[in-house]
A = this chain, B = another copy of it.
Amino acid sequence: MTTPETRLAELGLSLPQPTTLPPNLKLPFSFINIRGNRALISGHPKSAPDGSIAGPYGQVGKDLSTDEAYAEAREVGLSILANLKAEIGELSRIAGWVRVFGMVNSAPGYSEQHLAINGFSDLIIGAFGPEIGAHARSAIGTHGLPMNFAIEIEAEALLKE
């Protein structure tokens, strides 16, 4: 049976460990918040393979190109999928993606936020297919992000009942 996990493997992608925080950092919110069949996904940065927070940092359009931001948005997606899987067990429990909100820390005049966030959307469609992976989306340019992240992605998915 084809699962999101096998599709990711076919794409040559692997999930990092779930996000681990430095001992001095305690977040008063949940990376993944399950309410009924809704999985609410907090704004995520990228994780290193060991789960530590790994940026990316800086402004897109100055410190990162759009192509680099596209690749980073895919990495943010892998971090999200790792945290989701840790919470729900198997990614095939996702019945459908709902909404994606892509925040791009933008240099003045930068206007390719949509192309950057495509790195995330393409990952989701690739792993879940066009029906389950379908999502509404907005991409915006921010004036700063926490810890100087270059990209932060928030989303919602529905779980099978």
Interface residues of A (CB under 8 A from B): 28-33, 35-36, 38, 40-43, 61, 96-101, 103-106, 108-115, 118, 121-122, 125, 134-148, 152, 154, 156, 158
Assuming the contacts A110-B144, A144-B110, asked whether A136 and B96 have C-beta atoms less than 8 A apart, the reply is: no
B154 near A136 with CB under 8 A, answer yes
Q: List 21 A-B contacts (CB under 8 A).
A: A28-B125, A29-B134, A29-B135, A29-B136, A29-B137, A33-B97, A33-B99, A36-B158, A40-B99, A40-B135, A40-B136, A42-B138, A43-B140, A105-B141, A106-B143, A109-B144, A111-B147, A113-B145, A115-B146, A141-B144, A143-B143
A136 near B98 with CB under 8 A, answer no
Assuming the contacts A111-B145, A146-B113, asked whether A98 and B33 have C-beta atoms less than 8 A apart, the reply is: yes
Inter-chain CA distance A139–B152, complex, in Å, is: 9
Task: Give, as a whole number of angstroms, the nearest-CB distance from A150 to chain B.
Answer: 11
Task: Give, as a whole number of angstroms, the nearest-CB distance from A147 to chain B.
Answer: 6
User: Which are the 6 A-B pairs with shortest beta-carbon distances?
Assistant: A141-B144, A43-B138, A40-B136, A28-B121, A114-B146, A29-B137
- A135 cross-chain contacts in B, Cβ below 8 A: 29-30, 33, 40
